[in-house]
A = this chain, B = another copy of it.
Amino acid sequence: MQKIGILGGGQLGRMLLQAAANYPVTTYVLENDAHSPAAHLCHYFTKGDIRNFDDVYNFGKDLDAITIEIENVNIEALEKLEQEGKVIFPKPAVLKIICNKAAQKNYYTEHKIPTSPYVLTHNIDDLAQQTEFLPAVHKLAEGGYDGKGVQVINDESDIAKGFDALSVLEKKVNIAKEIAMMIAVGVDGKIALYPAVEMVFDTSLNLLAFQLCPAEISKEVYYKAEAIALASVKNLNSPGIFAVEMFVTPDGDVLVNEMAPRVHNSGHHTIEAHYSSQFDMLWRIMLQYPLGSTDPIQSSLMQNIIGAEGYSGAAHYEGLEEMLKIENAFFHIYGKAETKPGRKMGHVTIVSNEKADLLHKANRIKHNLSVVSKK
């Protein structure tokens, strides 16, 4: 059996390992936290730092292939492993582009992939010279994560809030919709696209409220998005699974926002709503099987289950029992012992070909399920 390792042990690794149990494969996880969501589901767990060269190299050197469930890994170790003949999904060269926002923006420009206008700034003085480019968003090229390393710069008075290191200054664009597409690329170069999903935001909280599949966009926008997402992935020349997040402007233009070279939150609905899930698909790619079918079985809505504000500690899922009565809702609780405000603790996918049914049930779940800590 092939030996395949995953860097990171979070919920993406957890769902990847649930899918792995359908295939003949021996699985390995490298992760610092032995109680992380994926730690117990692999054949062999290694405690270690995915950002440390030695930890990653030693983990990978006896495996056949390696993938990631988070980008923030030691790329140098993966490059050395690749030179030694290991197959890495995605290629380390892809991680170098994706993990650096400046490199990622330049990649889009180089390949004529539409993206919001930007300039690179190397320090605060650079930023100060860009007052005509404002309002804009300042994004640290490296090391930003989960909202950190991002700063809105509306006018001159905000410049002091900017970053004094290589950053991307991105022009604010008008956004009519945010959509995403998952794309699978086989080792043989074959490509399969999942239908686009639409992110619906809760504007009061500035949080993803839920995600609909398929996205409600015109055919014209759909084809444009498909072509742009394909170009974004094809030019990476790497097997793996990719999420391409895009903005649709009020004029119907499509701009790439960002990409992830791995299984992704915007593909969770594929577990129940599509013939081959994003997780199944990545195993097919890594085991060099044919790509799976990206066809939907039903339309779907995916909603994250997030730690409630004001609660930190041992997680308790208030209302879960009542919500489990909903017939066409599939709950995924990630088994994290501790909740924190905003922490992703699970998700639910509702399947139905009636949009009203999807929205009604998502709303019920939103108002009746909350992740709190026990008093």
Q: Which positions 270-302 of chain A face chain B at CB distance < 8 Å? A: 275, 284, 288-290, 292-293, 295, 297-298
Min distance, Cβ A167 to any Cβ of chain B, angstroms: 39
Contact of A21 among B25, B295, B328, B335 (CB under 8 A): B335
**A333 part of interface (Cβ distance < 8 Å):** yes
Min distance, Cβ A108 to any Cβ of chain B, angstroms: 33
Min distance, Cβ A65 to any Cβ of chain B, angstroms: 16
Tally of this chain's copies: 2
**A40 part of interface (Cβ distance < 8 Å):** yes
**A1 part of interface (Cβ distance < 8 Å):** yes
Contacts of A208 on B, CB cut-off 8 Å? none
**A264 part of interface (Cβ distance < 8 Å):** no
Contacts of A330 on B, CB cut-off 8 Å? 22, 275
Q: Roughly how many angstroms separate A75 CA and B326 CA in the complex, as a whole number? A: 36
| Stretch touching chain B among A116-124, A196-204, A249-257, A317-325 | A317-325
Q: Roughly how many angstroms separate A315 CA and B23 CA in the complex, as a whole number? A: 12
With A22-B333, A24-B333, A335-B1 as given contacts, are A321 and B14 in contact (CB-CB < 8 Å)?
Answer: no
With A284-B324, A328-B275 as given contacts, are A315 and B24 in contact (CB-CB < 8 Å)?
Answer: yes
Interface range on chain A (Cβ under 8 Å from partner): 35 or more
**A228 part of interface (Cβ distance < 8 Å):** no
CB closest chain-B residue, reference A25: B335
Contact between chains at A327 and B40 (CB < 8 Å): no
With A40-B43, A41-B41 as given contacts, are A293 and B22 in contact (CB-CB < 8 Å)?
Answer: no
Contact between chains at B290 and A325 (CB < 8 Å): yes
Contact between chains at B24 and A21 (CB < 8 Å): no
**A53 part of interface (Cβ distance < 8 Å):** no
Contacts of A41 on B, CB cut-off 8 Å? 17, 21, 40-41
Q: Roughly how many angstroms separate A211 CA and B321 CA in the complex, as a whole number? A: 33
**A361 part of interface (Cβ distance < 8 Å):** no
Contact between chains at A327 and B275 (CB < 8 Å): yes
Contact of A327 among B25, B295, B315, B328 (CB under 8 A): B295
Q: Roughly how many angstroms separate A293 CA and B322 CA in the complex, as a whole number? A: 14
**A42 part of interface (Cβ distance < 8 Å):** yes
Contacts of A23 on B, CB cut-off 8 Å? 331, 333, 335
Contacts of A315 on B, CB cut-off 8 Å? 24
Q: Roughly how many angstroms separate A330 CA and B289 CA in the complex, as a whole number? A: 13
Contact between chains at B40 and A324 (CB < 8 Å): no
Contact between chains at A24 and B317 (CB < 8 Å): yes
Contact of A328 among B42, B293, B317 (CB under 8 A): B293
CB closest chain-B residue, reference A321: B289
CB closest chain-B residue, reference A351: B297
Contacts of A325 on B, CB cut-off 8 Å? 290
Contacts A40-B42, A284-B324 known; list 17 others, CB within 8 Å. A15-B21, A17-B21, A18-B18, A18-B21, A22-B331, A23-B331, A24-B317, A24-B335, A25-B335, A27-B40, A40-B41, A289-B321, A290-B321, A290-B324, A292-B324, A292-B327, A297-B351
Of the A-B pairs whose beta carbons lie under 8 Å apart in the complex, a sample of 28, sorted by A's number, is A14-B21, A17-B21, A17-B41, A18-B18, A18-B21, A21-B41, A22-B331, A22-B332, A23-B333, A23-B335, A24-B333, A24-B335, A25-B335, A40-B42, A41-B41, A275-B327, A275-B328, A275-B330, A288-B321, A289-B320, A289-B321, A290-B321, A290-B322, A290-B324, A292-B324, A293-B328, A295-B327, A297-B298
